Amino acid sequence: MYTKDAIRFSLNLAEQAMFTSLAKIDDIPLTFPTEEGGCHPLWVLGHLAFVEGLAYEMLAGGENACTEWASLFAPDSIPTAEIAKYPSIEKVRARYLHLRQMNLQFLDSLSDADLDKPTPWQPKGVEEHFATYGKALLTLALHQMAHRGQITDAIRTAGRSAPIAVRTEAA
């Protein structure tokens, strides 16, 4: 397996896991994962879209298509239960999917040697995670899996059963 294949597999598996969980609760997307609050599923999906856009901006030099959502979904934003503040989950899902496709196309344009090239800039506080093109793309997958846990906790808070396994045949 080539490095690009491993990165693509990781990105696809993380996405499948997140969407499998999201499908269990996307009808009540403002369910907080704990009694103390936390990151509800709509915030998680919007945050993942924001970070996909940030990665595309950093890696490909394009514009982050989620800039207007920074106050809602940037890393320092605080999720609220005010549905009127958020775009619909369908709109956020579509934006995320578009940005993920752009990042996968960018990955396709790279050689394995390109994966070791330093990125032009890195987000403050996570410079090492985004130090090279390869690390940045792998970080997207790891980041997505970390936030999947918040969706899974929200599913349980809603009294629903959380998915355990992820189908991998399409990954």
Domain spans in the chain, listed from the N-terminal domain onward: 3-157
Q: Which amino acid is at 159?
A: G
Q: Mind listing the pLDDT tens digit for each residue in 130-146?
A: 999 999 999 999 999 99
Closest CA to 95 of 151, 54, 153, 137: 54
What is the full per-residue pLDDT of the chain (171 aa) written as tens digits?
789 999 999 999 999 999 999 999 999 999 999 999 999 999 999 999 999 999 999 999 988 999 999 999 999 999 999 999 999 999 999 999 999 999 999 999 999 999 999 999 999 999 999 999 999 999 999 999 999 999 999 999 999 998 876 666 544
pLDDT at 159: 97
Superfamily of domain 3-157, CATH level 4: dinb family like domain (1.20.120.450)
pTM here is 0.94
- Tell me if 40 sits within 8 A of 140, measured CB to CB: no
Cα–Cα nearest to 100, from 49, 165, 139, 146:
49
Return the H-helix or E-strand segment holding 17. Answer: helix 3-22
* 54: enclosing H helix or E strand: helix 41-60
